[in-house]
Chain A
Amino acid sequence: MQLTGADIVVKSLEKEGVEFVFGYPGGAALHIYDAFHRQNEVEHILVRHEQGATHAADGYARSTGKPGVVLVTSGPGITNAVTGIATAYMDSIPMVVLSGQVMKPLIGYDAFQEIDAVGISRPCVKHNFLIQNVEEIAATIKKAFHIATTGRPGPVLVDIPKDITAQLSEFLYPESVEMRSYPEPATTQPSEIVTAVEAMLNAKRPVVYTGGGVVLAHAQEGLRDMVKALGFPCTNTLMGLGAYPHDDPLFIGMLGMHGTYEANMTMFESDLIIALGARFDDRITGTLDNFAPNAKVIHVDIDPSVIDKNIKADIPIVADVKEVINAFNAELDRRRDDINPSLIADWWKKIRAWQGLDSFWYEKSDTIIKPQFVVEKLHEVTGGEAYVTSDVGQHQMFAAQFYGFSDTHKWINSGGLGTMGFGLPSALGVKIAHRDADVACITGEGSIQMCIQELATCKQYDLPVKVINLNNRYLGMVRQWQEFSYEKRYSNSYMDSLPDFVALAEAYGHVGMQIDKPGDVEGALREAFAMKDRLVFMDFITDQQENVYPMIESGKGHSEMRMRPGSASLAE
């Protein structure tokens, strides 16, 4: 049967098992929108801004492991989406973005709402396509999903000229994809596993350092078995939180710029770093000059380009991290009698002493709300079970430091690109996929205003997320850097003329609350989470001067953390 290109687009999505498409219509996409109107298999979620569409699809993808799907029009539709595409790209999130394009004969003539979508997205997609004729739509969409979801995942854009979506063709959805220039990812070699495990068994100061790759590969079970079998300390990156339970004694917290003292010192003094699905980015390593000077590095990643990029690997393994961890576990099982806990006993003593500093310590207050306190109470009220999205800034770090994650896919934040505006739309994407779960968006009064229009989307689709606005009337992280590095010249970091968030939430048809006393925090949270069917916007008026500690400042290394003034110090 002959179908229009637009129907082929929608049918292809159906074949891929797509449940939701997040999008916003416009001229060049109208045939596709008409095709959506003709069917009930794939639901379209109308956002209020294309950036919101990409973040919502991203939140859906991060919380489910399935690709997020976006549909936008040409010109400003796709340019608005670019921030969200780049966000997904930096964090390796599977996403397929379909964009309408002006009619093929008009391409290159500066037509109305024409922009070179393939060109403008090229640096921030895993791959992109410009459809040339109606016959190639189905096969291209098949390829797009294949590329987005295999190997190191990432966003793929398919740009479709409007006239092609009106043309007719037979619909044949390919069963499989063969691309000579996109080979299957490498698999692990037995000799690599033996060598790596040998190094683990001989290590005196080992550390397991895991990143977003472990989350993306669903490798947390194997990781937990491996860490427990070895008895090694384990640290997670910002992107990797939840892979190892926060309250397990072998967990030494998040590492990096605002990680724990013990995690960074453990990295610094280690003799063996086992890096799993992590890429040694600058927020993790600090300055490279003095990075873990005595450590041998086992580096496991599916993307060969991250090996030796920032840190030279002694034992590189390019393969799916889940497969490798399972192979490690099999080898460890075979050599279980060679695991010698006494070899690392002194190491643990040292780590326990570092932990004694309690580097996340902050001064409690009964007069002013501390942002950390709100996050701790949020953990209590939700039993640590909520999906937590965040925006970018101090609140993001407080969320990462204080929520305490025990599962993967529940901590949803823009780690790589650091996109303000991510929190609310990603929360709505999570909520669509997990209707019965608690979803909290931890944000700040700066970030929330970057995509606040999505409160309307939440209303339309009945998505009762809970917005935790840590409102300190400052762009807090900017203010903190200005305090530390610019002699307190607070240039443009004060948030003046803030809206009345309670009234604003109510104007969108939601519930608004303002909380300004520490004693009211827990009660308000309980009240909000008890309202299962309402979006509650909780405006917490927090301490304006609070900073995120500890901190590795720019140009410093793991052993040079700046601790909170008044913190305990190591007894030498």
Chain B
Amino acid sequence: MRHIISVLLENESGALSRVSGLFSARGYNIESLTVAPTNDPTLSRMTIVTTGDERRIDQIEKQLNKLVDVAALKDITLGGHLEREVVLAKVIVAPEQKAELDTIVKAFNGSLITVSDAQCIVEMSGSSEKVDELLKSLASLTIIELARSGVTGLSSDESSLTA
């Protein structure tokens, strides 16, 4: 089962390696991991997408909580939540494909950045599922380079994660 765990951690050097080291040392899966400072500059917010049964997720949360740099965490998939990932895809696009690409990107609320006559970058943000769908729709094009940000997210109710 897929879980998205949001973690508030002290914005200290080495905090990220404590988390990634924990996952590799204990053999936990990481599907994606994103981290950036929050509006409180002393705190970073990390979003970890992982998989496992209930017992495994319970252990992951407990082990994360044991890290001294971790101030708070929450499995946001337990309630309503918003999940977003940014994707950038550099594609080769022939002039006759331009219109079709335009339609696809619009349908996904994305945008197009022109690189040259032959190439452009597709930009979109959405759930990982939506990103996957977009990429499927681009199957007829040649993707030269692909960058996905990994997931970040928030609970969509009035609750909030605080240190």
Contact = CB atoms under 8 A, between A and B. Distances in A.
A65 interface: no
Contacts of B69: 127, 181
B13 A305 contact: no
Contact of B65 (A123, A130, A179, A304): A304
B37 to A, nearest CB: 15
A56 interface: no
Given A118-B14, A122-B21, A130-B13, A181 B71 contact: yes
A181 B14 contact: no
Interface in B1-38: 9-10, 13-14, 17-18, 21, 25
Given A147-B68, A303-B66, A308-B58, A130 B163 contact: no
Given A147-B68, A180-B71, A305 B17 contact: no
Contacts of B13: 130
Contacts of B59: 305, 308-309
A203 B3 CA distance: 39
Interface string A466-492: 000000000000000000000000000
Q: Is the interface of B mostly helix, strand, loop or mixed?
A: helix
A126 interface: yes
Given A130-B13, A130-B14, A305-B62, A179 B55 contact: no
B9 A181 contact: yes
Given A180-B163, A305-B62, A119 B17 contact: yes
Interface string A77-112: 000000000000000000000000000000000000
A304 B62 contact: yes
A307 B65 CA distance: 14
B17 to A, nearest CB: 7
Chain A interface: which size bin? 10 to 19
A361 interface: no
A279 to B, nearest CB: 13
B63 interface: yes
A305 B66 contact: yes
Contacts of A147: 68
B70 interface: yes
A181 B10 contact: yes
The list of the 8 closest CB pairs from A to B, nearest first, reads A305-B62, A181-B71, A127-B68, A304-B62, A182-B68, A180-B163, A123-B25, A305-B63
Given A126-B68, A179-B68, A305-B65, 8 more contacts: A122-B14, A122-B17, A122-B21, A127-B68, A130-B14, A181-B70, A305-B59, A308-B58
Interface of B: 9-10, 13-14, 17-18, 21, 25, 55, 58-59, 62-63, 65-66, 68-71, 163
Interface of A: 118-119, 122-123, 126-127, 130, 147, 179-182, 303-305, 307-309, 312
